[in-house]
Amino acid sequence: METSRGDLNIPFRTLLGPGPSNVHPRVLRAAGIPVIGHLDPKFLELMDETMELLRFAFQTRNTITLAIPGTGSAGMEAALVNLIEPGDGVLVGVNGYFGERLSEMALRHGAEVRRVEAPWGQIIEPDLIERALAGRRAKLVAVVHAETSTGVLQPIKPIADACRRHGALLVVDAVTSLGGTPVPADDWGADICFSCTQKGLSCPPGLAPITVSDRAVAVTNSRRSPVQSWYLDLSLITRYWGSDRVYHHTAPITMLYALREALRLVHEEGLEARWHRHHRLSNALIAGLEALGLPILAPKAHRAPTLTVARIPEGVKDIEVRKALLSEHNLEIGGGLGALKGQVWRIGLMGESCNQANVLLVLSVLETALVRQGWRREKGAGVLAALEALASTPPHTGHDRHMS
């Protein structure tokens, strides 16, 4: 039976879940520019500009800093498959859903995986990594910076220092942190740091930014066996992104248009101003959620400013609340993953979605949805607490030293 299809009719949503975030109109316009060839001189020029802007975002001088086709999980896979050979010892920090994914991927690539675990909602204490490395050597350590399932922001520098002392490489998952909180790849001493486009950078999903240290390059160049993934083999990909321009794959041209424009917006705002915006508005959101009686999962000293995870009050139906927000207000928040399914809400303030209007909106509509289910606090308490928190911390002003 023949069926006609009309034009796409997609509603505008306020995206306050764990990703994607809303996309700036300039980025959407850039994605609509006519397609040219992936070896066209103008496109190669765009690739060079994108690499330089990614170095700015990652705060790195690494030559190999580029964007792999695929989502953040492609960046994770690329980081591991290029460094791991069968039998290699790999230490993985697991304190949430994406630490579990790192562990699973490393196992699939033939690593002898040891897990350093912490309860979901807590950081992995760096001294546990130190002790594990001292007990038995590992080729690499892999950790998540901002754990998307819990909202925990993991301290990276002390883990990086432990890796250096014990001769291990360091892989950092910055999927939910890049563009919203500092990701100083060089200062950390990260050997591979990867992210995604659709969260703090506010670009559509489809690319995985990645930066690779000279030390990691030397390890990949001295492998005993070929990289198990041809498509994610960085030695091949970098010949396309580098001066040789050797064909490897047909680049997702419109996605790279969009990423370049998204990174231009990051550069124009400045890193310190952008970090300040995310921290300030995250603090306001947290104040509001706590005033509504929703405890925050992550400890106060280790909360990711890009993603806040709040416990759902007893008796409140998770899915009913989220459905109401979406159907009545076109507003999306996330539910819990894995062990936290049905127990928490994940509220993202990332990139373009991170603004005062969205903070006040989500607090207001959450209060209404909670009241319907019998959960009551003083009327307007969440919004009032957020406004008080905002008043106590002014917006960022002054010169941003990271702009140069």
Confidence of residue 403 (pLDDT cuts 50, 70, 90): very low
Q: Are residues 82 and 148 in the same domain?
A: yes
Q: Are residues 148 and 292 in the same domain?
A: no
For residue 97, pLDDT beyond 80: yes
**Rounded average pLDDT over 133-149:** 97
Does some domain include residue 365?
yes
Q: Are residues 252 and 274 in the same domain?
A: no
**Rounded average pLDDT over 382-388:** 98
Instruction: Please identify, among 267, 290, 320, the residue that sits at the C-terminal boundary of a domain.
Output: 267
What pLDDT does residue 401 have?
Answer: 40
Does some domain include residue 7?
no
For residue range 367-384, what is the model confidence (pLDDT) as tens digits?
999 999 999 889 999 999
Q: How many residues are listed for the chain in this entry? A: 404
Q: Are residues 222 and 286 in the same domain?
A: no
For residue 2, pLDDT beyond 80: no
For residue range 330-350, what is the model confidence (pLDDT) as tens digits?
999 999 999 999 999 999 999
Does some domain include residue 245?
yes
Does some domain include residue 397?
no
For residue 398, pLDDT beyond 60: no
Q: Are residues 161 and 287 in the same domain?
A: no
Q: Are residues 262 and 135 in the same domain?
A: yes
Confidence of residue 397 (pLDDT cuts 50, 70, 90): confident
Instruction: Please identify, among 237, 267, 297, the residue that sits at the C-terminal boundary of a domain.
Output: 267
CATH number at residue 136: 3.40.640.10
Confidence of residue 1 (pLDDT cuts 50, 70, 90): low
Does some domain include residue 374?
yes
SS (H, E, C) the chain: CCCCCCCCCCCCCEECCCCCCCCCHHHHHHHCCCCCCCCCHHHHHHHHHHHHHHHHHHCCCCCEEEEEECCHHHHHHHHHHHHCCCCCEEEEEECCHHHHHHHHHHHHCCCEEEEEECCCCCCCCHHHHHHHHHHCCCCEEEEECEECCCCEECCCHHHHHHHHHCCCEEEEECCCCCCCCCCCHHHHCCCEEECCCCCCCCCCCCEEEEEECHHHHHHHHCCCCCCCCCCCCHHHHHHHHCCCCCCCCCCCHHHHHHHHHHHHHHHHHCHHHHHHHHHHHHHHHHHHHHHCCCCECCCHHHECCCEEEEECCCCCCHHHHHHHHHHHHCEECEECCHHHCCCEEEEECCHHHCCHHHHHHHHHHHHHHHHHCCCCCCCCHHHHHHHHHHHHCCCCCCCCHHHC
Closest CA to 35 of 261, 241, 256, 254: 254
State pTM to two decimals: 0.95
Cβ-contact 386, 360 below 8 angstroms:
yes
Q: Are residues 333 and 251 in the same domain?
A: no
Q: Are residues 331 and 206 in the same domain?
A: no
**Rounded average pLDDT over 217-232:** 96
Total domain count, the chain = 2
Q: Are residues 162 and 277 in the same domain?
A: no
Does some domain include residue 8?
no
Confidence of residue 402 (pLDDT cuts 50, 70, 90): very low
What pLDDT does residue 3 have?
Answer: 66
Does some domain include residue 403?
no
Q: Are residues 239 and 305 in the same domain?
A: no
Cβ-contact 107, 66 below 8 angstroms:
no
Distance of CA 167 to the CA centre of its chain: 27
CA atoms within 13 A on the CB side of 2: 1
Q: Are residues 62 and 156 in the same domain?
A: yes
Structural domain for 330, as ranges: 270-392
Does some domain include residue 146?
yes
For residue range 40-72, what is the model confidence (pLDDT) as tens digits?
999 999 999 999 999 999 999 999 999 999 999
For residue 308, pLDDT beyond 50: yes
CA atoms within 13 A on the CB side of 385: 22
Instruction: Please identify, among 229, 249, 267, the residue that sits at the C-terminal boundary of a domain.
Output: 267
What pLDDT does residue 377 have?
Answer: 87
- Give every CB contact of residue 74 below 8 A, 6+ residues apart in sequence: 68, 208, 232
∠374-375-380 over CA atoms, to 5°? Answer: 120
Confidence of residue 400 (pLDDT cuts 50, 70, 90): very low
Share the mean pLDDT of the chain: 96
Closest CA to 71 of 195, 208, 182: 208
Cβ-contact 289, 370 below 8 angstroms:
no
Burial class (CB in 10 A: 0-12, 13-18, 19+), 108: middle
Structure tokens at 310: 């709040």
CATH number at residue 335: 3.90.1150.10
Q: Are residues 154 and 69 in the same domain?
A: yes
